Structures are given as structure tokens and as C-alpha cells.
Amino acid sequence: MKALRLKLFQETACYKKPFASKVAETYPLPPYSTVKGMIHALLRADRFIPMRLSVQGEYEAKLLDYQRHYFFKKRDVAAFPLILDGIQDESFSYDANEITTMPIYTHLLYRVDLLIHVEAEKEVLERVIHAIETGENHYSLGRWEDLVRIDEYKIVQVDELDEEKDLRYYAYIPHHLLDIDIKHIPYELPWKYEVVNGVRKWEKVNVGYVRKGTTAPEGACIDEDGELVFFHL
């Protein structure tokens, strides 16, 4: 099969976990839904595009950022707050009955290298490449401010791995590929959602976060340049 391989770099990033409200905890790698969202943003898609993803990577350190967050008390408010920190002689006020603030610790990953494989229809992969080559805006992965640099994009041949090989990066490996001897941290990662009664209902994927250096399990794939691939479906 053919897949698009992306090598990405981020100076800092936070792939925020859902329900982490008092502290913005981050996943160690971007979940599938975050990568899928970036691809869909590149394509300016207005509907779900079928694809499979493999996510691997590593980071140098984890940092703590202390930020002031604004929270709406009501669904509809009269004014939207504008952050003016650092701008002299500018005043800012808000209605305390509508908006409140709270300091929050945000976990940041520092110097993140990512290896992403995207398997989709040929026409979709070609559109992604065209969007990368002609894009006029910055790219981000995670939050809007988590800028990402695309160091490589390449169509590669992917086949089933037929020899023993160790992981070069940390990786999400789908649960059905893991055997009992592989040490991992289990995650239930969001993939896609449908809106039910106005609420997003997420489809989840059970994976293990596996350390680099671990021997790849049976059923893994490998691309033409020797990079391991673990598609999530």
C-alpha cells in the first residue's frame, strides 16, 4: 500500500487531554483526532475523509507553563475578552457576572519530533501534498499556537514487517497488535465524533504507548525507508 509520510517538528506543544480542567495535561504524542484534524484543516474539508494514521515521535523535556484562563459563566455573553498583556496604556475590563478567570498549569512538550504516516485514497494524499506546497498560513498541531514545521512529506510504499526490528521512536500501537510481553501505557484515544443531541460522541481507539527500543510486535508494517508503521485501523 502507499502512504504519505510526514516528519514534523514543534518547539513546544500541548495535546490537551479531555476532562483535564484544573491542569492542562498533555498526551505524550498527538492523539489520532488531533492529527486527523490537522490533515482536514490542510484540505479545508467540511466532512470526514476516511484515512488511517500511524503516530510516533519523541520529545526532549516536559515544561510547566502558568497561564491565566478566562471562563464564560453563560452560554451567551455581551462581550468577548481580549488579552492585552504586554501592551502599555491599554485598559481592559469585563463583566464579572459573565466571565471569570483562574490560573492554570499547562503541560508543554519541548522540542517534539513526530513521524506520521497517513494512508488514504491517492487523490486525498495528492491534495494534502498540494496544500502543503501552496499553503499561505502557518501550520499548527494541537492548539492554534502550537506551530509545526513540516520537515518532510513523501509518498512511500508500506508493507508488512517480516523481520525483527526495534522501535526508533515512542509510538501508539493499537491494542490488537500488542502481546502480553510488551510493556506499555494504555490510552483510549479519540478518533472521530458524531453530534448526538448537540453533544459530540467520540469513537475511541485503544492503544498502548510503547517506549522506543522495544521490539515491534507481529503485524506491524514498515515503509520503503525502514520506518516502522502502526496503523490504528
Q: Give the rounded distance of the alpha carbon of 35 from its chain centre.
A: 4
pLDDT at 22: 79
Q: Grid coordinates representing 73?
A: 459563566
* Fold category of 2-67+104-229 in CATH: Alpha-Beta Plaits (3.30.70)
Residue 81 has pLDDT above 60, yes or no: no
Domains of the chain, by residue range, sit at 2-67+104-229
Instruction: Select the more confidently predicted residue: 232 or 98.
Output: 232
| Cα(220)–Cα(53) distance, integer angstroms | 13
pLDDT at 97: 79
pTM of the complete model beyond 0.85: yes
In the chain, what is the greatest distance between 2 CA atoms, to the nearest angstrom? 66
Q: Which of 13-22, 122-131, 151-160, 185-194 is least confident?
A: 13-22
